Amino acid sequence: MKIILLGPPGAGKGTQADLICERFSVAHISTGDMLRAAIKNQTETGLKAKTFMDQGALVPDDVVIALVRERVLEPDCKNGYILDGFPRTVEQAKALETIAAIDAVIDINLPDDFLIERLSGRRVCPQCGKSYHVDLLQGATTCSDDGATLVQRDDDKPETVLSRLKVYYQKTAPLIEYYKAKGILHAVDGTQYYKILGETIAKELHAVQ
């Protein structure tokens, strides 16, 4: 199975990707995670990506396409993978067609007020990447798995959240029609509790399998 998870920032793509990976034994490919790792390791790609990411802008297509092209060759992708945060432009979608044949595109829909609330309240563990929301932390400031102090992603700060949403509508939302026309789009309601949403997505994917 080769799956794309589409949806605006804050739709819960990372959480759903983790659930799908476990259930369908596929690899999780998150271009956002790969770029953050590249920045942390101060690689050439990381240096190129940082200014774009800090502004909530998209990293140039050729940079992310090259990352994905290499990543899918790794052994854990043999059984399939879920692409989380890629493609984000029609250009990337076209390049992906030269890399792999996609079986299904899951599009997670959510109204903007939900997204803004989710992104601004998100806190992440800098060690393991686990995500939390301030409303559910009850004052806790550390990761329940490894005790690291939780942080707010630079691009989750309010001013950047709005530009990320704008970029989503301009550059990524056209992919909904693109994949609908190919007959592989499955739209799901992202306002559902994350476990119910996971079941909904699994049902859609079982039907494709």
- Annotated catalytic residues are 13, 88, 122, 153, 164
DSSP per residue, 95-152: HHHTT----EEEEEE--HHHHHHHHHHEEE-TTT--EEEHHHHTT--B-TTT-PBPB-
Residue nearest to ligand AMP (CB): 32
Least distance between ligand AMP and beta carbon 209 (Å): 26
Q: Which residues bind ligand AMP (CB under 6 A)?
A: 9, 31-32, 35, 52-53, 56-59, 64, 85-86, 88, 92, 155, 164
d(CA 104, CA 185): 6
* CB nearer ligand AMP, residue 169 or residue 206: 169
Least distance between ligand AMP and beta carbon 34 (Å): 8
* CB nearer ligand AMP, residue 50 or residue 180: 50
Tokens of 25: 């034994």
* CB nearer ligand AMP, residue 89 or residue 200: 89
* CB nearer ligand AMP, residue 166 or residue 206: 166
d(CA 108, CA 93): 17
* CB nearer ligand AMP, residue 115 or residue 185: 115
Least distance between ligand AMP and beta carbon 72 (Å): 14
Least distance between ligand AMP and beta carbon 64 (Å): 4
d(CA 150, CA 144): 10
Asked whether 56 and 119 are in contact (CB, 8 A), the reply is: no
CA distances from 119 to 19, 36, 81 (A): 20, 17, 25
Least distance between ligand AMP and beta carbon 88 (Å): 4
Q: Does the bond joining 126 to the residue before it have cis omega, within 30 degrees of 0?
A: no
The single residue listed with the structure tokens 């009850």 is 138
